[in-house]
Amino acid sequence: MSDKRRIVVVGGVAGGATAASKARRCCPDAEIEIYDQDEFISYAGCGLPYFIGGHSPNWRRLLARTPDQFLEKQGIRVFLRHRVSSIDTTNKTLRVVDLEGVSELSIDYDVLILATGAAPVVPPLPGRDLEGVFVLRTLTQALEMKSFIDLQAPHRAVIVGGGAVGLEMCEALRRLGVEVHLVELLDHVLPPLDADLASMLGDHLEKNGVQLHLGEKVEGLEGDGNGRVRRVVTSGGVLEAELVLLSIGIRPVSDLAGQAGIELGVRGAVRVDAGMRTSAPDVLACGDCATTLHRVTGKESWIPLGSTARKQGRVAGETAAGNEASFPGVLGTFILKAFDMAAGKTGLGVSEAVEAGFQADAVTVEDSVLPGYYTRDLPRLTVRVTVEKNTGRVLGAQVVGDYAAQADKRLDVFSLCLAAGLTASDLSSLDLAYAPPFSRPVDLPIVAGNLAEARVLGRECTCDAEGLE
C-alpha cells in the first residue's frame, strides 16, 4: 500500500465527510480531497426542521466541520461549489466544474468515493417554480426557507407529503404560528407504518391544529400574478397558501455513476458490496446514493438514513485506505417526534414480511409504560411486533405513543432482537432494566414477546403489563 495514494471524495455531509475522516485516520499520509457543489460540507441534516422551527435558531450550531477545520485538523482539502461532471474509470480521472470561476479541471485519483447523496423528488407540477415553494434537503435550502419565513411572515402553509420530514415540519411551522395543511396521497400519514397505527399519529396532528387532506393528489400550484405562490390545487379542492413545502420523497443521486458505466441497483442507487465497492475498480460509494443489504430479508435495498450514511462512510474510508472492512446492512430503523407523540419502526410489518416470502403474524400491545401508583400522568405506548410463524423469529416492530413513553428505548430493544436473530421466546425472557420511574416490572417488549410466543405455539394467551396471564 502506497502512503501517497490519492483519495478523492465526491460529496460531503454524513457519508462523504465521514469517509474522508476515516480514510485519514487509517492512512495518515494519503492525499485526500473532497469536492461538493453545495456551500456547506458537513452539517446535521436531520436538524433542519428544528432549526426552522426555532429550537436551534443559530444555524451555525448545525455545522459539524468547516473546510478550514478539515484542513487544519486532518489535512483534508475541501473544494466547495465544485461539481464533478464526469468520471473516467479507465484513466481514473474526473472532470470538475468550478461553479464560481466557471472553469473546468481534470483531477486524478487512486481511489474514488462517491457520496453524492439523494435529492428531493419534484414532480412536474404547474407553478413549482413560484416564489414561496420549497424543498428541504440541504442547509442552503433550510436557510432560504427560514429567510423567507422571517421576511414574509406567511400565515398559511401547505406541506405536500406525510413522511418524516413533512411531519416534523408540521410541528416546526405550527410552532411559528403558521396555519398548516398537510396533503398526502395515501389514506394515512407516515406510510411505513400500518394504517391503524399511523391514524393515531394523524389524530394527534389534527389536535395540534394541522389540517389533514388524506387521499388527495396535488395537481398544481397557482400564483398571485407577481410570481408568488397563493394556492395549491388538489384533487379535493383548492388550498390557500403563502408557503408550500414539497416533501414527497427523495431519489438517489446516481446519474454521475450511471453515466460512467457503474452498475446501479434497486431504486437506481449505486450498487455496492459490503466493503462499499462498486462495479468499477477503485471506485466506492456510500450514503444515500448507495444500496445496502436488508438484514431481515437478505435482499438489496435502498434505505437512506443519516445514521446509515455515517456507518457506510466509515467502511468506505477504511476500504479506501486499503484495509478490510464490511458493512452488514440495515434494519430500516427510524423514529420521529411529532408534537407530543413519537412513532418509529424497525424491520418489517406483516404485509412487508409476507411480500418478502415469510409466513408472518403480528401481536399488538397498548398500555402505559409506568406503574399506576408512580404517577397520575401515565405515558402510553402501542407496540406491534411481527413474528415468523413456526420459528417465532422476530421480524419487525412498530411503536406509536406519547413522547414521554420513551418509544426509542423500546424500539431499540426490538432492533437488537432483529440484529441478533432472536425469537419471541427470547424476547419474553429478556433481562431489561426495571424501576418504577422507568418501566413496569414486565416492560412492553416482554409482554409483546409473551403474546407472540403464545401465538406461535398456537394457544390463546392474554398478558398484561404486570406479566399476569
What CATH superfamily is the domain 6-45+54-119+251-320? FAD/NAD(P)-binding domain (3.50.50.60)
Using alpha carbons, select from 296, 159, 138 the residue that is nearest to residue 232. 159
pLDDT digits (tens, 9 = 90+) for 217-249: 999 999 998 999 999 999 999 999 999 999 999
- Judged against a pLDDT cut of 80, whether residue 434 lies above it is answered with yes
Q: Which residues pair with 293 in a beta bridge?
A: 300
Domain ranges of the chain: 6-45+54-119+251-320, 122-248, 340-457
Rounded to the nearest 5°, which phi and psi values hold at 257? -65, -45
pLDDT score, position 57: 85
For residue 1, how many other CB atoms are within 10 A of its CB? 8
Tell me what the mean pLDDT of segment 101-112 comes to. Answer: 92
pLDDT digits (tens, 9 = 90+) for 296-311: 999 999 999 999 999 9
pLDDT digits (tens, 9 = 90+) for 389-415: 989 999 999 999 999 999 999 999 999
pTM of the model: 0.92
d(CA 258, CA 265): 10
Torsion from C-alpha of 163, 39, 82, 289, nearest 10 degrees: -20
Tell me what the mean pLDDT of segment 251-267 comes to. Answer: 97
3-class secondary structure, 428 = helix
- Judged against a pLDDT cut of 50, whether residue 1 lies above it is answered with no
The residue annotated as part of the active site, out of 46, 170, 289, 461, is: 46
pLDDT digits (tens, 9 = 90+) for 135-182: 999 999 999 999 999 999 999 999 999 999 999 999 999 999 999 999
Percent of the chain surpassing pLDDT 70: 97
- Judged against a pLDDT cut of 80, whether residue 460 lies above it is answered with no
Confidence of residue 459 (pLDDT cuts 50, 70, 90): low
Q: Do 6-45+54-119+251-320 and 122-248 fold alike per CATH?
A: yes
- Judged against a pLDDT cut of 90, whether residue 114 lies above it is answered with yes
pLDDT score, position 102: 77
Question: In the block, which residue shows the cell 422571517?
Answer: 150
The per-residue b/e assignment along 128-141, b for 16 or more CB within 10 angstroms, e otherwise, is bebebbbbbbbbee
pLDDT score, position 103: 85
- Judged against a pLDDT cut of 80, whether residue 430 lies above it is answered with yes
CATH class of 340-457: alpha beta
Tell me what the mean pLDDT of segment 43-61 comes to. Answer: 92
Half-sphere exposure of 303 (CA within 13 A, CB side): 22
- Judged against a pLDDT cut of 50, whether residue 469 lies above it is answered with no
- What value, to the nearest 5°, has the Cα angle with vertex 106 and ends 105 and 112? 120
The per-residue b/e assignment along 342-352, b for 16 or more CB within 10 angstroms, e otherwise, is bbbbbbbbbeb
Task: Decide if 286 is catalytic.
Answer: no
Tell me what the mean pLDDT of segment 352-356 comes to. Answer: 96
d(CA 189, CA 185): 9
- Judged against a pLDDT cut of 80, whether residue 465 lies above it is answered with no
d(CA 289, CA 306): 12
Show Cβ contacts of residue 76 under 8 Å, excluding neighbours closer than 6 positions: 20, 21, 24, 32, 33, 34, 70
pLDDT score, position 2: 46
pLDDT score, position 284: 98
Mean pLDDT for the chain?
94
pLDDT score, position 261: 97
Confidence of residue 456 (pLDDT cuts 50, 70, 90): confident
Rounded to the nearest 5°, which phi and psi values hold at 51? -65, -45
Tell me what the mean pLDDT of segment 204-213 comes to. Answer: 98
What CATH superfamily is the domain 122-248? FAD/NAD(P)-binding domain (3.50.50.60)
The per-residue b/e assignment along 242-258, b for 16 or more CB within 10 angstroms, e otherwise, is bbbbbbbebbbbbebbe
3-class secondary structure, 450 = helix
